[in-house]
Structure 1
C-alpha cells in the first residue's frame, strides 16, 4: 500500500493476507510457500471492503468476482462468504 497504516490496521492487513493465502486459496497453492504472494494483489481491495463495512457481503462478492472472472474458476459463494465472515470477525476482534 502507498500509505502507512496505524498498527491495528496493519495487523488486520497482515491477517487478511494470511486468510486469503491459507483459507480462501481458490487455486489450492497454500501447501507450500513457493507462491506466497499469489493473492496479494487482491489484498488492498479486501482490506478496503473490511474497513468500509461490518458486513461480509461486499468482501464475499469481491472474492467471487476474482475467482470467477479473474481466475476462471467455478463459483463458491458459501466458501467466499465464510472467508468474508472470518475477516470481519478478525476486524472486530482487533477493535476496528
Structure 2
C-alpha cells in the first residue's frame, strides 16, 4: 500500500483484505477456517485498482485473471463484479468524512 497512508486508507486496505478472504474466496478456504492471508499476494494490485478509481469491470477483470492464471479456478463474472462493487463501496465508506 505504500509507506504513508491515512488511517482511513489503512482501514480500507484491511477491509479489502477481509473482502477477498471472506467473500471473493475462489478456492473456498474461508468456510474451512483456512489461512486468512491466502489472497494477500493479490491485495496490493487490487488496492491500486480500487483506490485508483478503476471501474467495476476493470476490477472484475483483474480478479478473473488471478483466478485463471494463478489459482486455476474461476468464479462467475457476476460474483467478481459483485466483489468489485463491494470493494468500491467499502473504500468510499472508509473515506467518508466523519461529522
TM-score calculated relative to the size of structure 2: 0.87
Higher RCO (CA-CA < 8 Å; seq separation 6+): 2
Match of 2:39 in 1: 39
| Distance change >3 Å, CA 52–CA 70, structure 1 → 2 | same
Match of 2:22 in 1: 22
**1:52-80: CA deviations, max 9, x gaps?**
11522221110000001111113521100
Q: RMSD of aligned C-alpha atoms?
A: 1.6
Does the 8 A contact of 1:12 with 1:91 survive in 2?
yes
Matches of 2:49 and 2:37, distance apart in 1: 20
Matches of 2:2 and 2:91, distance apart in 1: 21
Number of aligned residue pairs:
96
Matches of 1:75 and 1:34, distance apart in 2: 18
Does the 8 A contact of 1:23 with 1:83 survive in 2?
yes
Match of 2:69 in 1: 69
4+ residue stretches of structure 1 with deviation over 6 A?
none
Q: Secondary structure at the match of 1:84?
A: helix
Q: Secondary structure at the match of 1:31?
A: helix
| Structure 2 residue runs without a partner (length 5+) | none
1:35: Cα distance to partner?
1.3
1:87: Cα distance to partner?
0.4
Match of 2:60 in 1: 60
